[in-house]
Structure 1
Amino acid sequence: MSNMPFEIDLIFNQNLISMQQQHALNRYIERSNNREHLKSELQHKNPLEVSKPERVFFRKAIINPLDGLALERIIEGNDLFPISYFEAGLKAAKSVCRIEVRDRIGRVRGHGTGFLVSPSLLLTNNHVLADEDAALFSLAQFNYELGLDLKERQIKNFRLAPNRFFLTDENLDFTLVAVEETSADGAKLSDFAFLPLSPNKGKVLVGEHVSIIQHPSGAPKMVANRENKILDIFDDFVQYETDTQPGSSGSAVFNDEWMVIALHHAGVPDPQDRTKYIANEGIRISSIVQFLMNQSQNLSDDQKILFDELSKGWELVENTSEEIFSEKLALDWYEDSTGHDCEFLGDDYEVPHPTLHPELETDIALLKNGEKILNYTHFSIVMSESRRLAYYTVVNLDGNKLVDVGRENNWFFDSRIDQKYQCGPELYANNEIDKGHLVRRRDPIWGDLAQKANKDTFHFTNCSPQHKNLNQKTWLDLEDYILEKAEKFNFKATVFTGPVFRSDDVTYRGVQIPAEFWKVAVMVKEDGKLSATAYLQSQKHLIDDLEDAYGAYKTFQVPVLKIEELTGLDFGKLRNYDPISRVEGSIGHVIETSEDIKV
């Protein structure tokens, strides 16, 4: 492995390169114990037995049935291949190019690798082409390789066209950019074909070998053929052994079917000696595809044409644990939906919608009729345009009229609001993330409209990504407490719920995942006085690793003022009815049992 795992010497990107290396090392260290366990298992079992079932299922599905030795290669490490394997490798190599990174006056600042993924679009690393300016002055150089006579073949220089298409992401460290159709000497970009991207997971298993076609240190095209073995598979990344050949930033990582499984981007530095590297890391193609799918609605019409060429044959990866629907209900379904009733608790106890900070107000995802509030049966929602999730929900709960209704499994997009502002099923497929109801399903199910309210809660607007341990355990305990009290004592309650949006929230499949959630419960006490209590729960430590999250965490009762501070919402007079806000110096306390809740 080279001492320069990124193979590009761009001074202005050194901080980014160091950050990517550190993230890669952190992932490597966090999974060290699991990896050693896997190594032990692999000594006695084959990768098909130790890898996740959904990966194994797809891995088997993409093997050509005519390749009788394919399973033997995976299970027993058999190195026999049909001679066509090399022909397929040469075909794949045509689409790989050297990227010559230049500045505005034509100086060469470094080299990276890229590859065509559609007739017009090229994929490389963000740290190779970080912005449109970098792409505008750089070149994609195809055919830079040695012939049978060991002489360099004629380079075909193509200019990049970021004005036509440019999409990048620092967290997933990729850049997708358009390429001009004709080279400086008249060659056609179509002569170099392209490597299609598959959205499916399971293209490789732990213990399998992969190959990397690259321009190491800007040299003529080379291949590290099956010199890397998969060490670990993360949600968005894959790590593989180092080899004796240096890797190149932006290289394509292939499985034995010459299918692209990852975009190479970083070396994992040895924590004992930062001049050496203990592994390589690539970004999973399935994660890049999911990000692109999430961003596709934001493209211009001309960009969508290029994107459609890229996405031909892509199919939504569905969650195998439950049936997923992404239908829309007809507009007349919502005609009589009045949503949150501000006087639900009584004429003398008005509980209005909170107001939003002016900056948040401009980010509200408007309905197609220009309104700001999505009204459903007994609850309402206000959505964030940038986060594609709810700023808050508010539900009216009548403990005297609760009805027992069977659970729905059909989830719907809301046709009153643009679908691009709603996180759909692609976010929740094949992972540890639940579609967490913000308005709890059982809360609005009361009275004559119980059936309609039940169905209304299954809108994507009413769910937020929550780790399963939050959604099914601690959060559920608090919701049960509020509902059971309302039912037992036949009282009404108005409950606000939402996520805490932070700028450093983890990005997953193009969506920033909230690490904390809050509730504000409002009710009238036996003495006729209003009570407004606020709660905060965190899943931050749970989403650091979406594959292997674990551990307990705490629930806090906090002042309403704290929720206002965290969210930018203003609950007005409700803060005056908060029992703990009147306690001098109170910052909140841990909730371990129902007796800890102060109303």
Structure 2
Amino acid sequence: MVNKMGQIQQEALKRYLAFEKEHNAENRQVTSTEKMITRSSIINHHDNLAMERIINKSDLFPIAHLQAGLNVSKAVCRISIRGRSGQLEGYGTGFLVAPNLLLTNNHVLETAEAAMYAVAEFNYEDDVQFMPLEIISFRLDPEALFVTDEALDFTLVAVEENNLSAVSLADFGYLPLLPKPGKILEGEYVTIIQHPNGGPKAITIRENEVKFISSDFIHYVSDTEPGSSGSPVFNDQWMVVALHHAGIPDPTDNNRWIANEGIRISSIIQHLSDKRSGLENERSRKLLDKLLAVVMPGRSTTPMEVGILSADWYAGVSGYDPAFLGAGFKVPLPVLGKALTKDTAQTVDGKTVLDYTHFSIAMSKSRRLAFYTAVNIDGDQLVDVKRGNDRWYFDPRIEEAYQIGPEFYQSNDIDRGHLVRRRDPNWGIDAVKANEHTFHFTNCSPQHKNFNQKAWLDLEDYLLDNAREFGMKISVFTGPVFRQDDVSYRDAKIPDQFWKVAVMIKDGTSLSATAYLQTQEDLIGGDLEFVYGQFETYQVPIEQIEKLTDLDFGGLRQADPLSGGTFVHVRRREDIRL
């Protein structure tokens, strides 16, 4: 343990010195206007002293701040680390983050076996007369849930709901972990509730300045001691911003400490989300879902309904029709580049395109998403089919391993974005079948929950409304842009750009092919913290889509009014050039 702690401290020192060098080189302001706006958005508007504290112009707090601190401190406990025979081996700190889940450091509880013999001790503190309160102990339950990570130095473990004296763990509350960004800024001060040296509960107040914030870590100047590992690090609103895990030694004096390091809560949440699908124990998944439902409110933890379609549903389907627009106006499927061709998922009979009712899809094996979708829309035969129960399907014609399934979309702000929109292929006598076919995992791509509710939806409505109003036929291609630096989440990558190519007959005499690009790049951070941003849609040359995707649309380039031209910012329907 001593050697490991020394290694952790040295790694923290390296990060601290690197951040210090980087900040000195940049010579940047501590707080940008954009960050300040985000920070102020999560402040209780009744605390009219908060902004003055944040910008270091005041040390005044409302008196209720002290009571709020006492309230959150109930969820903080001392962890007694014991061996198999019961002998005491050391202490740490932990805190409840859900009704029966406790968070601490990996170096405090490295294994499920260590957690089995450890004890969480609440109320180990003195009252106002400096008399000790009665300690209330609970055993941990790693068999129910135990998730740990050495790199981020955290352990999440279940705790028994009632102890041997029938005391309820619920009496101590919990500290919700909020993934929303902007909980703390460099230059602000943090507060740490801890059990220093395994002693009674203590608190560090003020003069604990945050020096650096990186993607995974926060560095701050504060008074902590051995035994403080696993303590919650709070901002002024008593929100947990980090998990304390190490002191940073002075490189010139081993007896001095120059700062402390904590792990950002957002990084821990992302890791827990990533690990969920790999948990074999159903009870563990349910417990973790409860935590994720707290940190990402509004997202359902009810498993998505996954159905099975019989072979009859795929027999004789029409798929995308290249001759759909009429004689002399053939619009073939886009041609995949060489690298994409090698990465294409094939059916058992060697086909590289999956045909559905009025649309077709080509799938990437590595990304488990569609390279493109292609749909025919007949505005003269559209049928209004009700949505139904949102039951989704794996396509049995390709391996399930090549399709992103329900586990990916569980308990987060990610929507299953239809690539072929549900309403588009719903025409003719097979409209109901087409509607059901759009609910395949092959036809969805992960998108932020707000993404397909704004400009992209307006564009799709525009195309469908024109088809309906004028009895037009339209062929539409849609897909994601795959990039190496797309955000990794759970066991996949989330595209941050999507494209669409719409083809129709103009004035009854010639093809018109227009391409559109929309990005959710500004909405997804590397730690999956979602921030507010402006959705923008652009009409772009088809050549631009080809460069981004390695698809070849052939003759459609000559039918593009923007061929060789510039981008058009689409703010309203009138901006579209056909």
TM-score (norm 2): 0.63
Decide whether the 8 Å contact of 2:372 with 2:478 is kept in 1.
Answer: yes
Could you say which residue in structure 1 is the equivalent of 2:575?
A: 596
Could you say which residue in structure 1 is the equivalent of 2:556?
A: 574
CA apart distance, 1:487:
0.9
1:190-218 deviation digits (Å, cap 9, x = unpaired): xxxx86379xx97446899776799xxxx
Could you say which residue in structure 2 is the equivalent of 1:77?
A: 69
User: SS of the counterpart of 2:420?
Assistant: coil
Structure 1 distance, partners of 2:354, 2:220, is: 51
Cα distance 1:283–1:363, how it changes in 2: closer, same or farther (>3 A)? farther
User: Quick check: 1:349 aligned with 2:341?
Assistant: no
Could you say which residue in structure 2 is the equivalent of 1:244?
A: 223
Q: 2:274 aligns with which of 276, 291, 305?
A: 291
CA apart distance, 1:421:
3.2
Decide whether the 8 Å contact of 1:438 with 1:463 is kept in 2.
Answer: yes
Which amino acid in structure 2 is aligned with residue 590 of structure 1?
Answer: H
Which amino acid in structure 2 is aligned with residue 399 of structure 1?
Answer: G
Q: 1:377 aligns with which of 320, 340, 357?
A: 357
Could you say which residue in structure 1 is the equivalent of 2:163?
A: none
Cα distance 1:120–1:394, how it changes in 2: closer, same or farther (>3 A)? farther
Question: What pairs with 1:484-499 in structure 2 (closer than 5 Å)?
Answer: 484-499=465-480
TM-score (norm 1): 0.61
Cα distance 1:534–1:195, how it changes in 2: closer, same or farther (>3 A)? closer
Cα distance 1:446–1:311, how it changes in 2: closer, same or farther (>3 A)? closer
CA apart distance, 1:410:
1.7
Structure 1 distance, partners of 2:65, 2:37, is: 26
1:357-377 deviation digits (Å, cap 9, x = unpaired): 212222223445543322222
Question: What pairs with 1:349-498 in structure 2 (closer than 5 Å)?
Answer: 349-367=329-347, 370-416=350-396, 417-498=398-479
Decide whether the 8 Å contact of 2:222 with 2:260 is kept in 1.
Answer: no
Decide whether the 8 Å contact of 2:82 with 2:114 is kept in 1.
Answer: no
1:537-560 deviation digits (Å, cap 9, x = unpaired): 222222248655334343222111
1:446-488 deviation digits (Å, cap 9, x = unpaired): 1111112222222232222223443111001111111111111
User: SS of the counterpart of 2:222?
Assistant: coil
CA apart distance, 1:310:
8.5
CA apart distance, 1:337:
3.0
Decide whether the 8 Å contact of 2:356 with 2:434 is kept in 1.
Answer: yes
Decide whether the 8 Å contact of 1:264 with 1:283 is kept in 2.
Answer: no
Structure 1 distance, partners of 2:550, 2:195, is: 49
Which amino acid in structure 2 is aligned with residue 474 of structure 1?
Answer: A
Decide whether the 8 Å contact of 1:405 with 1:454 is kept in 2.
Answer: yes
Cα distance 1:508–1:523, how it changes in 2: closer, same or farther (>3 A)? same
Which amino acid in structure 2 is aligned with residue 287 of structure 1?
Answer: Q
Could you say which residue in structure 2 is the equivalent of 1:330?
A: 309
Q: 1:90 aligns with which of 62, 81, 87?
A: 81
CA apart distance, 1:340:
1.3
Structure 2 distance, partners of 1:204, 1:410, is: 30
Decide whether the 8 Å contact of 1:436 with 1:463 is kept in 2.
Answer: yes
Structure 1 distance, partners of 2:338, 2:72, is: 65
CA apart distance, 1:404:
0.8
CA apart distance, 1:568:
0.8
Structure 1 distance, partners of 2:46, 2:369, is: 42
User: SS of the counterpart of 2:223?
Assistant: coil
User: SS of the counterpart of 1:7?
Assistant: helix
Structure 2 distance, partners of 1:227, 1:121, is: 29
Structure 2 distance, partners of 1:370, 1:448, is: 30
User: Quick check: 1:528 aligned with 2:530?
Assistant: no
Instruction: Kindly tell me the number of residue pairs found equivalent between the two proteins.
Output: 460
Decide whether the 8 Å contact of 2:378 with 2:471 is kept in 1.
Answer: yes
Identity of aligned residues (%): 37
User: SS of the counterpart of 1:534?
Assistant: strand
**RMSD of aligned alpha carbons:** 5.4
CA apart distance, 1:534:
0.9
Decide whether the 8 Å contact of 1:266 with 1:282 is kept in 2.
Answer: no
Structure 2 distance, partners of 1:523, 1:247, is: 70
Structure 2 distance, partners of 1:245, 1:412, is: 51
1:415-453 deviation digits (Å, cap 9, x = unpaired): 424444333344444544332221111111111111122
User: Quick check: 1:8 aligned with 2:10?
Assistant: yes
Decide whether the 8 Å contact of 1:211 with 1:227 is kept in 2.
Answer: yes
Decide whether the 8 Å contact of 2:299 with 2:412 is kept in 1.
Answer: no
1:136-185 deviation digits (Å, cap 9, x = unpaired): xxxxxxxxxxxxxxxxxxxxxxxxxxxxxxx999xxx6599xxxxxxxxx
1:333-371 deviation digits (Å, cap 9, x = unpaired): 333433212222234332222122212222223445543
CA apart distance, 1:562:
0.9
Which amino acid in structure 1 is aligned with residue 341 of structure 2?
Answer: E
Structure 2 distance, partners of 1:16, 1:420, is: 41
1:64-118 deviation digits (Å, cap 9, x = unpaired): xxxxxxxx99974338999x98664435996999xxxxxxxxxxxxxx9746565
Could you say which residue in structure 2 is the equivalent of 1:159?
A: none
Which amino acid in structure 1 is aligned with residue 467 of structure 2?
Answer: A
Question: What pairs with 1:276-315 in structure 2 (closer than 5 Å)?
Answer: 280-284=262-266, 285-293=268-276, 296=278
User: SS of the counterpart of 2:503?
Assistant: strand
1:22-62 deviation digits (Å, cap 9, x = unpaired): 9xx999866444445655558599xxxxxxxxxxxxxxxxx
Could you say which residue in structure 1 is the equivalent of 2:125?
A: none
CA apart distance, 1:266:
9.4
Which amino acid in structure 2 is aligned with residue 556 of structure 1?
Answer: Y
User: Quick check: 1:516 aligned with 2:477?
Assistant: no
1:286-323 deviation digits (Å, cap 9, x = unpaired): 421321345x4xxxxxxx98x99997965585784566
Which amino acid in structure 2 is aligned with residue 579 of structure 1?
Answer: P
Which amino acid in structure 2 is aligned with residue 476 of structure 1?
Answer: L
User: SS of the counterpart of 1:580?
Assistant: coil
1:472-512 deviation digits (Å, cap 9, x = unpaired): 11001111111111111112111000111122223344432
Could you say which residue in structure 2 is the equivalent of 1:501?
A: 482
Cα distance 1:335–1:503, how it changes in 2: closer, same or farther (>3 A)? same
Which amino acid in structure 2 is aligned with residue 90 of structure 1?
Answer: I
Q: Which runs of 5+ in 1 are unaligned?
A: 46-71, 98-111, 123-166, 177-193, 215-219, 269-274, 297-303
Decide whether the 8 Å contact of 2:78 with 2:91 is kept in 1.
Answer: no
